[in-house]
């Protein structure tokens, strides 16, 4: 890597849009200067359109990209998450390390072309097809590390602890055999993976899969073991995605999942509560107050029929989501996200099952869900940031960075130079003001993608909308999926 600089006529900084911005970064890809109102030196590289912070994708199961589009038919009278999951298990049971690597490589190249410059990989297929550990217990995790490094995307690797098939310690099902490991073996896996992660600048965290898959004592021991290795490591958990999960948790403990977690785990800003779709008013208040990030995956949640997260309630800190007086006076703009009110909850976006891989489309779906729910427009906008696409983008970057446990918090000194350049000459954007270009990118681009460049740690990974390894990555992806489908359903 080498140091670099870029001049942008318009750049989206954490506090909002700025003009004539000069950015410099060091050899490690960290921004050392972000100067609005600057003038460009002769010969300095110039962004050909508005500059945006790259979007971290906070929730990914890479292998599921291989089955995107394959579960869109009715298998049961009441098709749901649970019937989708049984198909997903059949797919997961056949996957080889080289197939995982090929699918992840194809996926990560797609992500870079689609506005994501980093990904949190919630990685739960650990063992061979019989359920035995590989000779190298980290075999499949290393496949993901290689895929990310080759594509050039930033990575937060979250090995998943998975032990039971339901609340109350129900024995794992046969279809879960590749996921299961003891707490001690998980902690050893983290130690094994740490040098490889550090060597490529990836962050290592832990993902207790869910309360139904991790019993209380395992959760407690895993968190203690993780803290002994890295007290600031990110912790991600699936929580309250499904109403059945809420009902089962209440039957088991007398509490709803988020309430149970908040009473039994030290939830704080290291945590990402993935989905958190089904919370009552008290859970919204309490969870937002912990500083944890809500990991929203709008297109997957729509695809699986999960339900809708109440975004205004979350960003209001659990209140009713009506604009508060402080926000009305313009006091709510913070470095961690323009759509977040003081004391309000942080959030970011993930593409999860990868039925859709596009940062802008994820934000569109998030905002449209809220509009349909509330019968209002521009729901994620605030008085401080009335431009809804800008508010959505900044909040997604702030929450995504926090969940990644990496310095990805936007175009500011000390953060990594992860950046996107909008294609100002694209017919969808041409002739518009910079904030309108972002609005058009999020709300009016359809399935076109007016993104010209992506930079990760100051290195250009996408140019003219294309990753240089696109063709190779697509070939490998298609081949792996063919093999998996030929394995029978």
From residue 449 to residue 488, what is the string marking binding to Zn ion with x (rule CB under 5 A)? ----------------------------------------
Which position's Cβ is nearest Zn ion? 352
Catalytic one of 275, 278, 354, 467: 275
Phi first, then psi: give them for residue 437, nearest 5 degrees: -65, -40
From residue 322 to residue 361, what is the string marking binding to Zn ion with x (rule CB under 5 A)? ------------------------------x---------
Radius of gyration of the chain (CA): 21
Q: Which contiguous run of DSSP H or E holds residue 305?
A: none
* Beta carbon nearer to Zn ion, 17 or 63: 63
Between CA 126 and CA 122 the distance in angstroms is 11
Q: What is the DSSP string of 207-223?
A: EE--TTTS-HHHHHHHH
Q: What is the DSSP string of 258-281?
A: HHHHHHHS--STTEEEEE--S--H
The nearest distance, CB 439 to Zn ion, in angstroms, is: 29
Between CA 410 and CA 394 the distance in angstroms is 8
The nearest distance, CB 295 to Zn ion, in angstroms, is: 8
The nearest distance, CB 241 to Zn ion, in angstroms, is: 8
Phi first, then psi: give them for residue 466, nearest 5 degrees: -125, 140
Asked if 117 and 418 touch (Cβ cutoff 8 Å), the reply is yes
The angle subtended at Cα 67 by Cα 293 and Cα 362, nearest 5°, is 35
Nearest to 10 by CA among 485, 463, 432, 488: 432
Task: Report residue 276 as tokens.
Answer: 């958190």
Contact positions with Zn ion (CB under 5 A) in 74-133 = none
The nearest distance, CB 90 to Zn ion, in angstroms, is: 17
Active site residue 275: yes
Catalytic one of 110, 324, 352, 418: 352
* Beta carbon nearer to Zn ion, 275 or 286: 275
The nearest distance, CB 124 to Zn ion, in angstroms, is: 9
Contact positions with Zn ion (CB under 5 A) in 9-28 = none
Between CA 130 and CA 20 the distance in angstroms is 58
Asked if 36 and 100 touch (Cβ cutoff 8 Å), the reply is no
Three-state secondary structure call for residue 481: helix
Phi first, then psi: give them for residue 430, nearest 5 degrees: -55, 130
* Beta carbon nearer to Zn ion, 82 or 191: 82
The nearest distance, CB 448 to Zn ion, in angstroms, is: 28
* Beta carbon nearer to Zn ion, 89 or 443: 89
* Beta carbon nearer to Zn ion, 242 or 332: 242
Nearest to 366 by CA among 58, 50, 108: 58
* Beta carbon nearer to Zn ion, 21 or 273: 273
The nearest distance, CB 275 to Zn ion, in angstroms, is: 8
Phi first, then psi: give them for residue 274, nearest 5 degrees: -75, 125
* Beta carbon nearer to Zn ion, 306 or 352: 352
Nearest to 333 by CA among 15, 6, 9, 11: 15
Measured in residues, the chain has a length of 489
Query: Total residues at the site for Zn ion (CB under 5 A)?
Result: 1
From residue 199 to residue 218, what is the string marking binding to Zn ion with x (rule CB under 5 A)? --------------------
Contact residues: Zn ion, CB under 5 A: 352
Q: Which residues participate in catalysis according to the annotation?
A: 275, 352
């Amino acid at each position: 890597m080498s140091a670099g600089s870029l001049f942008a006529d318009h750049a989206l900084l954490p506090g909002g849009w700025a003009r004539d911005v000069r950015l410099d970064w060091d050899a490690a890809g960290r921004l050392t200067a972000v100067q609005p109102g600057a003038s460009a030196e002769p010969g300095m590289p110039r962004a050909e359109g508005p500059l945006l912070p790259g979007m971290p994708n906070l929730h990914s199961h890479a292998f599921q990209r291989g089955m995107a589009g394959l579960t869109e038919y009715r298998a049961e009278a009441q098709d749901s998450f649970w019937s989708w999951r049984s198909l997903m298990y059949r797919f997961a049971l056949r996957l080889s390390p080289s197939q995982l690597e090929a699918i992840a490589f194809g996926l990560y190249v797609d992500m870079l072309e689609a506005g994501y410059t980093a990904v949190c990989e919630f990685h739960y297929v650990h063992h061979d097809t019989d359920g035995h550990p590989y000779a190298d217990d980290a075999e499949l995790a290393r496949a993901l590390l290689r895929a990310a490094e080759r594509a050039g995307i930033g990575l937060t690797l979250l090995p998943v602890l998975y032990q039971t098939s339901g609340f109350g310690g129900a024995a794992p099902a046969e279809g879960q055999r590749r996921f299961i490991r003891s707490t001690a073996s998980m902690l050893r896996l983290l130690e094994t993976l740490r040098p490889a992660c550090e060597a490529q600048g990836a962050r290592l965290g832990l993902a207790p899969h869910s309360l139904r898959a991790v019993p209380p004592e395992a959760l407690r021991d895993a968190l203690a073991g993780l803290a002994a290795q890295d007290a600031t490591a990110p912790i991600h958990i699936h929580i309250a995605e499904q109403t059945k999960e809420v009902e089962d948790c209440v039957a088991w403990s007398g509490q709803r999942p988020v309430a149970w977690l908040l009473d039994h785990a030290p939830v704080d800003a290291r945590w990402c509560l993935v989905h958190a779709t089904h919370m009552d008013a008290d859970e919204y208040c309490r969870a937002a107050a912990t500083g944890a990030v809500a990991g929203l995956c709008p297109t997957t949640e729509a695809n699986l029929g999960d339900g809708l997260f109440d975004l205004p309630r979350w960003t209001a800190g659990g209140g009713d989501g009506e604009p508060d007086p402080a926000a009305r006076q313009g006091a709510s703009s913070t470095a961690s996200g323009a759509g977040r009110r003081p004391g309000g909850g942080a959030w970011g976006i993930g593409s999860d099952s990868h039925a859709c891989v596009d940062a802008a489309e994820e934000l569109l779906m998030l905002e449209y869900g809220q509009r349909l729910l509330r019968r209002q427009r521009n729901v994620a906008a605030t008085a401080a940031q009335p431009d809804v696409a800008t508010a959505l983008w900044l909040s997604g970057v702030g929450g995504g960075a926090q969940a990644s446990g990496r310095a990805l918090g936007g175009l500011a000194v000390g953060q990594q130079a992860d950046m996107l350049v909008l294609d100002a000459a694209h017919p969808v954007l041409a002739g518009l003001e910079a904030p309108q270009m972002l609005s058009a990118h999020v709300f009016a681009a359809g399935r076109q993608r007016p993104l010209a460049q992506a930079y990760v740690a100051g290195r250009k990974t996408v140019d003219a909308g294309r990753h240089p390894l696109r063709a190779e990555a697509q070939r490998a992806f298609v081949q792996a999926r063919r093999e998996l489908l030929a394995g029978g359903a």
